Amino acid sequence: MLTFLVRRLVAGVVTLFVSMFLMYLLVNRAIDPLADLRESTAANKQQLIALRIQQLDLHTNVVIRFFRWFGGVLHGDLGIAWRSKQPVSDLLAHAIGSTLQLVTAATFLALVLGVAVGIVSALRQYSSFDYLIIFLSFLLYSLPSFWIAVLLKQWGAIGFNDFLKDPTIAWPTIAVISVIFGVLWMLAIGGTRQRRLQTLGLAFAATFALFAYLQLSDWWLEPQISLLLVVLLGAGSAFAIVAIFAGLHNRRALYAALTTVVVGAVLYYPMHTVFSNLTSSGSMNNWVAAGFGLLAVVVGVVIGRLFGGPDWGLSARCAGFTALIVSAMIYVNEIMRVWPPYFRALGGRPIPTFGDSTPDLGGNYWVTVLDALTHLVLPSITLILVAFAAYTRYSRSSMLEVMSQDYIRTARAKGLPERVVVVRHGFRNTLIPLATIVPIDVITLIGGAVITEAVFARPGMGQLFVQSLQGAEINPVMAYLLVTAALAIIANIVADLIYAAVDPRIRLDA
């Protein structure tokens, strides 16, 4: 593997250098930093042109200017944006930060939802659920992202903010929503008629109970994940995770996951005290939050290990995933504790339609996180809807191909349960085509979701590139191209490594 990495990295560096050289020549040809001065009617027009030529070193040959720029890059200097007089590294850091927030949330949710729904659709091939998902995926994939963004601004921001003035949902509306969710779950799970009716009833009751809780507790005005919700949702997640990965007959895995939920419930109030102390001392940040999440997973794995058994690794994985979900709920609840003052500070309209932060908002770490999340809601949903449609189609077609292979028929012939056939034999191989698609999609989005960022006025990578190109600023444009090209090369190497990880037939040291 080391030989493979060295070979690919050397080829990548050479490719990066050549591509940067060509792009510098093309960008230099495409922009004209003197365009505004040529159209000027100032009396000292020629002096201004001469001054800018000297300022931007335009009298020097473009090849020499490229090597000067590239030499600066090797020393960590990306140059200056001559219009704003800001270092390009500062502009790039802010743009990458804004884009990474958007890409991380959108890609993760779209991938999880798309793969899950695509696999279920494949397993229910030619059923009503399958036809429904096919229709929705083609519909969403064909919709222009700017149109989705505009609709979300109207109904997801303006409409929802108006709803929060009197957050009351009519009981007949709740009943209709519950029926819709019940039908969707019934179609997804399938089975005999009796099983379908049971699924419909349970999904209807659960959805109705959830909305009734939100309605009666004024959750829309003071949204929090109470201890009761942590226990209920955590237990539900534990049962779902164990049912998928181990089967409910595996009592050790089930008890390990439920024990993890109990531990999370016991730590619900102590963790609030810990977070409060860290916030008061100014020590709370994203790295600390990530550390607590990792610690929660470790605790879950340890609990699974303590339950032992011949397949303790399965119990550890189930408990670890459950611990991650429970810890995430506790973290989100801590964020939502600052919702009332945040809601009042924004005049009762907390869902914004532009930007990535509220100017001069102030507040502690939790207020900052909540403000970032509210600004992420609409652009993330825009990207999720489009990416969800693509991932659903990819995973469905891949799953259909895998489930028709000889080794799947052999596994069934050996008498393995269908859950084991799908999860342990089908699911892993379904991910192989996605190993190429997902890294490239992530890099494409890091390059900037230009349309989405333009509609929601997010100062991300896409906007940096467009504005710098319009302003004829070659240094920010080249910095953007350098980052995206380098990440594209890295993404291809990562895709090869993922291939080797998910497909044992591929050897990197061959």
- Give per-residue pLDDT as tens, 102-137: 888 888 889 889 999 999 999 888 888 999 999 999
pTM: 0.85
Read off the pLDDT of residues 395-415 as tens digits, 9 standing for 90 and up: 999 999 988 888 888 988 988
Task: Give CA separation, 294 vs 66, 267, 298, in Å.
Answer: 44, 15, 6
Q: Are 293 and 329 in contact (CB under 8 A)?
A: no
Two structure tokens written together for 43? 């009396």
Read off the pLDDT of residues 278-327 as tens digits, 9 standing for 90 and up: 999 888 999 999 999 999 999 999 999 998 777 888 899 999 999 999 99
Q: What percent of the chain has pLDDT over 90?
A: 35
Task: Give CA separation, 201 vs 83, 184, 209, 210, 319, in Å.
Answer: 63, 12, 12, 14, 29
What are the helix and strand counts (H, E) for the chain? 23, 2
Two structure tokens written together for 407? 């080794």
Residue 510 has pLDDT above 70, yes or no: no
Q: What is the pLDDT of residue 508?
A: 65
Q: Are 215 and 169 in contact (CB under 8 A)?
A: yes
Other Cβ atoms within 10 Å of 113 Cβ, number: 15
Other Cβ atoms within 10 Å of 315 Cβ, number: 29
Between 365-402 and 128-142, two packed helices, what is the crossing angle to 10 degrees? 120
Q: What is the pLDDT of residue 207?
A: 93
Cα dihedral value 194, 199, 204, 207, nearest 10: 170
Two structure tokens written together for 253? 């895995």
Residue 230 has pLDDT above 90, yes or no: yes
How many residues would you count in the chain? 510
- Residue in the block written with tokens 């494949």: 122
According to DSSP, residue 448 is labeled -
**Residues 6 or more apart whose Cβ sits within 8 Å of residue 212:** 174
- Residue in the block written with tokens 């990495």: 5
